[in-house]
Amino acid sequence: MRLAGKTAIITGAARGLGAAFAKGFGKEGANVVVADIRDGAATVAAVEQAGGKSFYVATDVRKQEQCDAMAKAAADRFGGIDILVNNAGIIVTLKPSMEVTTEEWLDVMATNALGPFQCIKAVFPYMKDKGGKIINISSGTILEGVPGMPHYISSKGAVWALTRGMAREFGDYKINVNAIGPGFTHSEGGNEFDTKKTFPPMPMDEIQMPVRCIKEPVYPEDLVGTAIFLASNDSRLITGQYILHDAGMLHY
């Protein structure tokens, strides 16, 4: 098992991608801290059924004190922190950009961009002397030029920029920092986005499928292997990278 004995914090792990990551990490032997503003009991049960150890910490990543408490709880329970997956994020409603309010912009940026930085600040004291793995969840939208979600794509672009900066700064501490950029994925959040958007009216799969190299729908479980690779020793010399995971819709 590639993550045996490792302790991973996964934010936004109550459902969707985060829950899939948590279960996959548990199968690989990790101790998994389920951090979310939502109740994470179901994910904890799934991790334990998969063979890992787990517990839930109520965490609002917009608040530094809650991020710090999350990290302390993880270290107190499992003796340290080896992996952080910054997955928590807000999925917005697609609508004309000029209808996005300042309040909406700031809320999205606080969760999607500031949140990962605050979580990194929280875990750094536990990683600086022994190394670690940080995986930031960005988005393929930052390369697509998607209209109608300027606040979301800006926040996820910030995640990619943060990844590069932190990778450069943390290299001497043997802390790897990488990002995954999912395309449209059939998670709870992704499906909510698809049904609530005001334009275009057709389902996202109908829009994207014709331009994907592999013309199949994408589900949270499809991204788990990539996250495990980045969390394991298999990627010990890979840092500062952005892995696009969108069935080949964009292949730069």
Tokens found for residue 229: 């690779």
252 is catalytic: no
Amino acid type, 201: P
One DSSP character per residue, 116-127 reads: HHHHHHHHHHHH
Amino acid type, 9: I
DSSP 8-state class, residue 210: G
Q: Which of 152, 173, 242, 252 is catalytic?
A: 152
Instruction: Return d(Cα 64, Cα 243) in angstroms, integer.
Output: 28
Amino acid type, 138: S
163 near 138, Cβ under 8 Å?
yes
Q: Provide the pairing of β-strand 242-245 with 175-182.
A: parallel
Place of tokens 């979580």: 119
Place of tokens 């030029």: 145
Q: Could you tell me which residues come within 8 angstroms of residue 26 by beta carbon, excluding any fewer than 6 positions away? A: 32, 46, 47, 48, 50, 51, 52, 53, 54
Instruction: Return d(Cα 206, Cα 197) in angstroms, integer.
Output: 14
CA 82 centroid distance within chain = 16
204 near 149, Cβ under 8 Å?
no
Could you list the active site residues?
Answer: 152
